[in-house]
Amino acid sequence: MWDQALAIRWLKDNARGFGGDPEQITLFGESAGGSAVNLHLLSPVTRGLARRGILQSGTLNAPWSHMSGERAVEIGMSLIDDCNCNSSMLREQPSVVLACMRSVDAKTISVQQWNSYSGILGFPSAPTVDGDFMPSDPMTMLAEADLSEVDILVGSNKDEANIVCAAEMLQTCLPLKSCGQSTGGFKCQANHLNA
């Protein structure tokens, strides 16, 4: 979210140089991107940078769109341990744990993060209530927000959830070899069925 905030700020500061109007910026996002747009319109860090938001198949009231700080810590500790970097050392020797995690290749981290996957759409990472970018629960932020100057268009894709539901069903109901939880895992499972 912070990298997106920098990009939105840059766009606001430089829109005129590209023939744009910095007061008419529209953010668009689909799925997780839709919930990100929703959060940018509410966050004290980015509120007021965009005039319009288009949220397609994703808003902050979706259960997968954000997580508590406690859940993020739990997932982070699991990831540290799954990468063999010993989360029990985090309090006393955080620099040792950080150095260990920095030595782990990106592919390993990408694979290991899915060990904390918690069922259908329970993704291992999501924007987190942090007291800064997301100061409180998104529904509280929404209830307290003044969006009278913001145009918002919300919609969804037809049949978007079919692949997710199919992947979950295959994993739950059929004895398949383990291929992971990602889209690649679904392809692996589908290929396994065709074999």
- 3-class SS letters over 14-50: HHHHHCCCCCCCEEEEECHHHHHHHHHHHCCCCCCCC
Looking at the chain, the whole-number percentage of residues with pLDDT higher than 90 is: 52
Three-class secondary structure of residue 55 per DSSP: strand
Supply the pLDDT for residue 122: 66
Among 113, 103, 118, residue whose Cα is nearest residue 81: 113
Q: pLDDT tens, 13-49?
A: 999 999 999 999 999 999 889 999 999 999 999 999 9
Structure tokens at 105: 């290749």
Q: Which long-range contacts (CB under 8 A, 24 or more apart) does 137-144 make?
A: 138/38, 138/39, 138/42, 138/60, 138/61, 138/65, 138/66, 139/60, 139/61, 141/42, 141/43, 141/60, 142/42, 142/60, 142/61
Among 2, 32, 43, 36, residue whose Cα is nearest residue 144: 43
Looking at the chain, the whole-number percentage of residues with pLDDT higher than 70 is: 78
> What does pLDDT average to over the chain?
83
Supply the pLDDT for residue 124: 75
Which of the four pLDDT bands, split at 50, 70 and 90, describes residue 163?
Answer: low
Q: Which of 69-73, 103-107, 154-158, 189-193 is the most confident on average?
A: 103-107
Residue 67 DSSP class: B
Q: Can you say whether residue 107 is alpha, beta or left, with left for phi > 0 and alpha for psi between -120 and 50 degrees?
A: alpha
Measured CA to CA in angstroms, residue 102 lies from 2, 84, 92, 96, 105 at distances of 20, 12, 18, 10, 8
Q: For residue 56, what are the β-bridge partners?
A: 30, 155
Taking a C-beta distance cutoff of 8 angstroms, is the pair 131, 54 a contact? Answer: no
Which of the four pLDDT bands, split at 50, 70 and 90, describes residue 149?
Answer: very high
Residue 102 scores a pLDDT above 90: yes
Supply the pLDDT for residue 120: 57
Which of the four pLDDT bands, split at 50, 70 and 90, describes residue 101?
Answer: very high
pTM of the shown model: 0.73
Supply the pLDDT for residue 119: 58
Supply the pLDDT for residue 177: 45
